[in-house]
Structure 1
Amino acid sequence: MCCLLHLPNGWVQGVNNGSDMAMLFRWLLRLFVIAVAAVGLGVATVYYLASRSLPDYDAEYTLAGLEAPVEIVRDNASVPHVFGETDADVFFGLGFAHAQDRLWQMTMMRRTAQGRLSELFGERTLKIDELIRRLDLYGLAQKSVAAQDPETRAALDAYARGVNAWITTVNAKAMGRGAPEFFLFDPEVAYWQPADSLALVKLMGLQLSAHLEEEVLRARLSLLIDGNRVRDLMPDAPGAGVMAIDYAAIAPGVTRSSAPLTRMAEGPLSPFPARALAGASNAWAATPRRAAAGGSLLANDPHLGFTAPSPWYLARIELSSGAVIGGTIPGIPTVLAGRSDMLGWAITSSYLDDQDVFLERLNPENPDEYLTPEGYKPFETRRTIIKVADSDPVTITLRWTENGPVLPGGHYDLASITPPGHVTSLGWTLLSGADTSMSAAIGIMRAQDVDQAIEAGRLFIAPSQNLTVVDHERIAIQMIGAMPRRQAANQGMGRLPVPGWRAENRWQGWLNYAANPRVLDPEGGILGNTNNKLVDRPFPLHVSYHWGDTQRIQRWKRLMESREVHTRESFIEAQLDAVSFTARSLLPLIGRDLWFTGDPAPAGSPERRRQRALELLAEWNGEMNEHLPEPLIYAAWLRRLQDRLIRDELGPLADTFTHVEPLFVERVFRNVDGAGQWCDIRQSSATETCTEIARRALDEALLWLDETYGGQLEALRWGEAHQAFHMHQVLGETPLLKWIVNIRQPTSGGDNTLNRGLTRGTAPDPFVNVHGAGYRGVYDFADPESSVFIIATGQSGHPLSRHYDDLGELWRRGEYIPMTLDPDLARAAAVGTSRLIPAHD
């Protein structure tokens, strides 16, 4: 045989004998070994550099900024228990622990709040930075430092010293720059400042806001369809409400459009949530007489977007006012949801309408001026420079009116509802330079009883929350956060953008704290909130027209009323409940003329597949269990059904409705106020019935399921589609690395269950679980040490740490870890104890 090869060093081109073949084999083997060794050396080098930033939990550090030694005991779940002689030293220790485990996460959140992402990520984050700069979140945080009370200022200063002590230690000991991600970007890490912590609170408020988009969407719908039909798609929560308002009468000259609602800032780095992802949560409490063990009970699971690592971090700190333990946000020096020996506190999104969009009329003769009730005034302006990686810096001009900052027309399609010769500004309680929310949070954490906690909440500005508190005897819910003082004559009633030059539309400051809804010691002994409607008061004391839940509250009431007394276990059972009231109420409506009907059909035919799907759903109890096929069939059917109902009227704007609106579907199939006309396809000559649309939607859903998953209907599994997706915000889309840094878990629950797992809502994976209870806690004051909590990933933000995802499987299975304040239990089987020793001059 003869093979022509191009070989080095003058080798003969013809290989004709065994010895030459053996030599060729040996050289190829050598090259292969060298390549494998090079790859192995590269992997080992990367691993070595990345692992350098893994903190040693069992070490001693000599640090400046301490008054006395501090001990950080990490229990067997890596929850730090921080002990010190003074409160300042304890906050120092918390900052140190946060930085050890989550330094990259903290610096990324700070960059986001500062509008400095583009320094790392280039032009793809430029629009995010631009909008953040226009809102001036960081500037307002800097101004708010001076507004804090002395105790809070001291805590902020000490916490910052603790964070900076770890940054200094990393630099001095060459500890892998503090996190593996820093090897991919600028390694310089600025020292932490008190304003950074306040900026993160404002960033949380941004992630929980939805009313701006609600106003724009309502305005666009009112330009496109009849006012009663707007009420169908965006209905008031059950209770008294008002009729839809004609936006064209408020803003003449706006061109109607059916283009889909676009969002200026997309992607995992964006802090601007889609309308359906703007925050949720559950909390409920029972008085001692409604508790089997004779002590108050409290359960809480605040909901945020899933990330790896989780936004939440478990910690215990030993303060002079008593030890506290619970969920913290790295970068913020307080336990936001947790307990002490005397008090338990929980937070849920209140859905307070704290945003208004204002139309600002420009002066035709001078576009640098806008109209006010007193005439034209100049915008308050200043310029800011955004540095952009691999590109030239971008300079933008920031403009503010008396109502708030002027926003670019591309964000939330503000341009589509802005008349010619106008711009839009945003009024928002969060945009305060005297924001004392941090002082309120620390005051709540130090409170000894319900009354003290409610009084501490007086200082809270934004983001508005429902604070549920219990002590050993009493329970209460208090909405905290500033409520805008609107006038009764306001044209938009907080629902639509309004002319900012009309006095009746302008805010008159904030309402007194006494106007915030409050429930103390209810007669029934149980209270709770699932982001449902709080009060039924007329505008402008209405709190909101847009609420986060009308469904979960129904299931919660059923579970609470089913027992005379409750236990820690019954509260846990409710927290993990996956039965969908929505499925139970809607399926009999949409399928009432389809159940057990139709002619016999051969196996494998679409008709037989539809009949089998209906049989499964007819026997289903509505539990969104990860192991069942019915939840996936139901979810796919409802998704296709809603799209068929609205697509012909809304066109591309229908893409904005990414999640099923249960009240809309109910109104249509009950024909409330003529809503049944949504079933008729406007473009067809025939008159379609709701039964026909339901049947076609089911067939379409079954076709999609077959194309996507294949197999028999009985073989489908909800958990396969409804995987909780905890994505690393920076590396989560990077090939190879994404398999290391992202966390996926099949989960039960759904959009409308108490165990809420909000789906993405968009293709190609519409049912992926992207938003839910990243923290769960249940506290029993009959035996506080029996209290439990959990987070959805792990304590560490380091992908090579065993604590990166070790709590995730427990969370997925509905399990918890002990929430102990006993120092001896914390030390038992601890993974390490860090000792912080004051440095002496």
Structure 2
Amino acid sequence: MRKWVARGGFALLGLVLLAAIGLATWEPFFAEPGRAPATEQTYSAEIVRSEFGVPHIYGKTDADVAYGVAIAQSEDDFFTLQDVLAMARGRYGAIAGEDGAAVDFVYHLLDARGTAQRHYGNLPADTRALFEAYATGLNQYASEHPGEIKLARLFPVTGEDVAAGFALRQPFFFGLNGVIEPLVKGEPLRPEFGPPIPSSAPAAAPSADVDGEAVPRTTASRALPLHMGEDGAMAGSNAFAIAPEKSGDGVTRLVSNSHQPLRGGVAWYELVVESGEGWHFAGANFPGSPFPFLGHNRDLGWTNTVNRPDLVDVYQLTLDESGTRYRLDGEWRDLETRTVTLPVKVGPLVLPIRRTVHRSVHGPVIINDRGAFAIRYGGMDSVAQLDAYYRLNKARDLAEWRTILARMAIPSTNFIYADKAGNIAMFYNAAIPDRQQGPDWRSVLPGDRTDLIWQDMVDFDRIPQLVNPASGWIFNANNAPFSAAGPGSDLSPGDFAPELGIETKTTNRARRAAKLMAETPVIDRANLERIKYDTGYERTGYVAQMLDEVAALDLKAEPDLARAQALLATWDMTADSKGAADALALLMIKDFMSAEYQNKTWPDAREKLAAAAEHLTTHFGRLDPPMSDLLRLRQGTVDLPLDGGSDTLRASTTWDVHDDGRLALRHGDSFLMFVEWAPGARVRSQSIQPYGAAITRPGSPHFADQTPLFVRHELKPVHFWRADALANAIRRKTVTNR
């Protein structure tokens, strides 16, 4: 009997071990194998590294350069590139666990792969050649560095894989996550996406999920790490353009001041590209792109700030008793339903989690306890932006550039433009649905009427745009487009239909920029730098409300908290680390900003004051440490003081709280570029990044070599022209796939 029990125990142990081995190894074999680009094309590129390691990539053709971009970026950040490619293949959960599986769920929900498959082949041949070359470079690096690969069978990849990544990530720049997350969780929508779904909404018929769950609760309900910042797209960016008649020296200036996460899939990567086919551009891209998204060429340049147009409509469907059909115009239609497998890494194991995704003629469908809801959004089922960005890179004047932007192929983001001819402009770029008048498009719409399912975008001429205003300056700081160029030059909100869904909110950054620029008679280089690095707050809006609520607290019975209240009352309204109350204000203000911009629950003033005071006294032994002791820029062994705050023009927006109580910047000022066209001179530019070119290579000298300049408000030369790049080169090499 004992032998039988022992044998049975060993057998059970063996089964457990086999199951563990299976869970540790199944995912790469289950995943669809990667494919190499179907081309025998040979590529060759020269990569010249500047004194800060920034790659300058040269090639005979544009495709040669794109191949070189992939090699250079892999050398600096192959770690993040793999994450981006895993997202584009629906396999990120095998790397990042539950958070990654949430991305994979959205990948399937939005049909990112299907979008790429349907439309990639219709792109112009030279655009597809760019993406195939880029994929070839990625595959080559992976083949030559197998020890760096963190997910088996991720490579090879094709241009279509890269295109699928674009289809997945683009909607999150205008806040689609703010709709998907609450719907998946079964929570009310935030007010900026319409009024809450009523709790009395009729319950939907059960989903056909294989595990009986109507909502993918264990993975897809996680936060979606695809948006611009911790609190969504409104987390920020600044942009400035100054016409020659306003600059004091006849120079046209453009300032790109994006606020992105400092690491990860939407962190900027700086590069300069030049080909024998006329592609010559300096700027930055995100991992997974063969071309820059912003910057300048010889003749013109642009930068972007995230806008928040109403590009998303939500429809409530009526399902039949089976939950497999929905009613439309009095008839029942089959709900498209398919089951997908999400890999979820848990320790050494990867669990296969089965989930169901649905679709109607409206778009993706989410079923929760409140009902069935379909989503339709601007730019859905399109990869046209791949060609549009490429063409913008090569445009030569405002007319050509504007014609490309007018395609409405790039679903969102403001464009601030300047060129060597002295033109400056602002375009509230947005693929806004062409909605009929009458319905409340900010509410949840009935899903049983085809007349509410819009098909086209509004004409480009209907969106807000401003070219060469009389003021001679333009800015945007994630505010409504109706404050951009000062009194007498700004657009009027009344000239734009409410169905366009143009946001009306402003930011402290916008208030400060409008004030500082309007009161500055000559915006020369020095004044422009002063404005860009401003750390001030206006005592209005959420800032004033926070201060008033703290001042109104009755803290007679709490002397310690009363001291914090009294200190905050002395705050000088800046985040420059000079005032005694700056650190306290920095800790306080972020949550109030988020409540204002994201329509979150308004914070309790007493609770926030108490938490900030406790943090400072616990970690610093005082309420008034220098703010620069609290706020730090940290990368490896580098640990430097920072200025700026949440929603100041010098942006230190969000941070990680380290064990020592310091706030390590996570999101804020990132890629910063000043571009200048002087009369009769070639374009000149300078830039800076918070860390360095080799952002995930701790052993590289360029892991954090830009940090001292960044904290001192200093810039480095871009070396746009090849002669300058070669004169300042520290490394040169030629790469080829022969």
2:426 counterpart (477, 481, 486): 477
| SS of corresponding position for 2:594 | coil
> In the TM superposition, what is the alpha-carbon distance from 1:469 to its structure 2 partner?
1.3
Counterpart position of 2:165:
200
What is the deviation of 1:282?
1.2
Aligned to 1:773: 669
Mapped to 2, the partners of 1:362 and 1:309 lie a distance apart of: 38
The corresponding residue for 1:757 is 652
Deviations 1:477-498 (A, max 9, x none): 123341112222223x23x332
SS at match of 2:178: helix
The equivalent position to 1:397 in structure 2, one of 356, 381, 385, is: 356
User: Structure 2 regions of 5+ residues with no counterpart?
Assistant: 1-38, 205-216, 483-492
Structure 1 unmatched ranges of 5 or more: 1-62, 225-229, 237-243, 255-261, 410-414, 643-657, 669-677, 680-692, 727-738
Residue of structure 2 in register with 1:832 after alignment: 731
Q: Does 1:709 align with 2:619?
A: yes
Give the Cα–Cα distance (whole angstroms) in 2 for the partners of residues 802 and 142 of structure 1: 41
Q: Aligned letter for 1:756?
A: A
- Does 2:596 correspond to 1:661? yes
- Displacement of 1:86 in angstroms is 2.2
Q: 1:235 to 1:483 in 2, by over 3 A?
A: closer
Aligned to 1:510, the other structure's residue is in SS state: coil
User: Which of 412, 421, 426 in structure 2 is aligned with 1:464?
Assistant: 412
Contact 1:485 1:509 in 2 (8 A): yes
627-636 or 280-289, which deviates more: 627-636
| 2:232 equivalent to 1:277 | yes
Please report how far the alpha carbon of residue 763 of structure 1 lies from its aligned counterpart in structure 2 after TM superposition. 11
Q: 2:244·2:250 contact (CA, 8 Å) conserved in 1?
A: yes
Alpha carbons of structure 1 residues 304 and 395: separation in structure 2 relative to 1, 3 Å? same
Structure 1 residues 383-392 or 293-302, which shifts more?
Answer: 383-392
Partner of 2:566: 614
For 1:183-582, list aligned pairs within 5 A.
185-210=150-175, 213=178, 248=198, 251=201, 270-271=225-226, 276-278=231-233, 280-307=236-263, 311-319=267-275, 320-364=277-321, 366-387=322-343, 390-391=349-350, 393-407=352-366, 409=368, 415=369, 418=370, 422-432=371-381, 434-472=382-420, 473-491=422-440, 493-494=441-442, 496-503=443-450, 505-535=452-482, 536-537=493-494, 541=498, 543-544=500-501, 546=503, 549-582=506-539
TM-score by length of 1: 0.70
Q: CA deviation at 1:818?
A: 0.6
Taking a change above 3 Å as real, the CA distance of residues 706 and 331 of structure 1, as seen in their structure-2 partners, is: closer
SS in 2 for 1:528: strand
SS at match of 2:521: coil
Rate the CA distance shift 1:469–1:124 in 2: closer, same or farther, 3 A. closer
Change (3 A) 1:138 1:221: closer
Offset of residue 338 of structure 1: 0.6
1:273 Cα deviation from its structure 2 partner: 6.8
Aligned mates of 1:585, 1:470 — CA distance in 2? 33
- Once the 2 structures are TM-superposed, how far is the Cα of residue 426 of structure 1 from its aligned partner? 1.7
Q: Aligned AA for 1:341?
A: R
Paired amino acid for 1:471: D
Letter aligned with residue 159 of structure 2: P
Q: Following TM superposition, by how much is the alpha carbon of 1:834 offset from its aligned partner in structure 2, in angstroms?
A: 0.8
Which string of whole-angstrom CA distances, capped at 9 and with x for unpartnered residues, describes residues 720-765 of structure 1?
Answer: 4434577xxxxxxxxxxxx67xx76542222221122223599997
Question: Does the CA contact (< 8 Å) of 2:131 and 2:290 recur in 1?
Answer: yes
Other structure's SS at 1:88 match: helix
The aligned counterpart of 1:93 is: 68
List aligned pairs for 1:754-833, cutoff 5 A. Answer: 754-759=649-654, 769-782=665-678, 785-796=683-694, 797-833=696-732
Match of 1:747 in 2: 642
CA 1:277/1:511 → structure 2, altered by over 3 Å: closer, same or farther? same
In 1, the alpha carbon distance for the partners of 2:174 and 2:575 equals 28
* Deviation for aligned residue 1:555: 0.2
Aligned-partner Cα distance in 2 for 1:663–1:345:
27
Letter in 1 for 2:478: N
Do the aligned partners of residues 774 and 202 (structure 1) sit closer, same or farther apart at CA in structure 2, a change above 3 Å counting?
farther
SS in 2 for 1:205: helix
Q: CA deviation at 1:501?
A: 1.5
Task: Give the equivalent residue in structure 1 for 2:19.
Answer: none
Contact 2:656 2:665 in 1 (8 A): no
1:215/1:357 contact within 8 Å kept: no
Q: Distance in 2 between matches of 1:811 and 1:719?
A: 14
- 1:604-683 aligned at under 5 Å gives the runs 607=559, 610=562, 614=566, 617-618=569-570, 620-626=571-577, 628-637=579-588, 659-661=594-596
Match among 128, 132, 150 for residue 153 of structure 1: 128
Distance 1:753 1:449, change over 3 A: same
Deviations 1:667-723 (A, max 9, x none): x9xxxxxxxxx99xxxxxxxxxxxxx96x5686356524553353333x23334434
Shift of the 101–143 alpha-carbon distance from structure 1 to 2, 3 Å rule, reads: farther
User: 1-side partners of 2:586 and 2:401: how far apart?
Assistant: 41
Q: CA RMSD in A?
A: 4.1
Query: Partner amino acid for 1:502?
Result: R
Deviation of 1:143 after TM superposition, in Å, equals 2.5
Moved more, 779-788 or 355-364: 779-788
* Identity of matched residues, %: 22
Whether 1:66 and 2:13 are equivalent positions in the alignment is no
- Deviation digits for residues 774-825 of structure 1, max 9, x if unmatched? 2111111115554211222221232221212222332233222112222222
**2:481 aligned partner, one-letter code:** L
Q: Give the letter aligned to residue 454 of structure 1.
A: R
Q: Indicate conservation of the 8 Å contact 1:96/1:166, yes or no.
A: yes
- How far off its partner does 1:392 sit? 5.5
Do the aligned partners of 1:64 and 1:838 also contact (CA within 8 Å) in 2?
no
- Letter in structure 1 aligned against 2:670: G
1:407 partner letter: I
Deviation, structure 1 residue 517: 1.7
TM, length-normalised to structure 2: 0.80
Q: What letter corresponds to residue 559 of structure 1 in structure 2? A: L
Q: Is the 8 A contact 1:114 1:137 kept in 2?
A: no
Distance 1:615-1:116 versus aligned 2 partners, 3 A rule? closer
Cα distance, 1:202–1:817 mapped onto 2, change above 3 Å? farther
Higher relative contact order (CA 8 A, sep 6+): 1
Q: Aligned pair in 2 of structure 1 residues 548, 792: CA closer, same or farther (>3 Å)?
A: farther
One-letter code aligned to 2:653: L
